[in-house]
Amino acid sequence: MCLKNKYLKTLLQDLPKDDKGNSIHISRKRALELRKEGQVDTKGEWTVFAQVSKDMRKNKFHGMHINSQNKRAWFVKFIGEAALDDGGLFRESITELCSELQSAALELFIPSAN
């Protein structure tokens, strides 16, 4: 276990430090409206999850290669909302991602009784 931790630590130290954050524009209003209507995002276009993953793919997941615990994977700009991302919007986008994963808006997981 000690060798494994040592190896992981060296891998993390070798990752490049990212000085610029990826900015992701999210249309949260549209995602919420369609989710309230009970629609399912079969093409992966309008949910917050789809918008974030689309931007991350476009940037080759650059935000995920971070060698710092104080950096975020992306900066959020909610379209049509006046707010600055100082950490709260990032956390809010993660919360919305998780709630969509647990809802019927995405067909990624099948709810079970267990």
59: CB partners within 8 A, 6+ apart: 22
Query: Domain extents for the chain?
Result: 21-101
- pLDDT band at residue 18 using 50, 70 and 90 as cut-offs: low
Place of tokens 């600055």: 84
pLDDT in tens, 55-107: 888 877 766 666 666 677 788 888 888 877 777 888 898 899 888 888 888 88
- For helices 28-36 and 88-101, give the axis angle rounded to 10 degrees: 30
pLDDT tens-digit readout, 51-68: 988 888 887 776 666 666
pTM of the model: 0.69
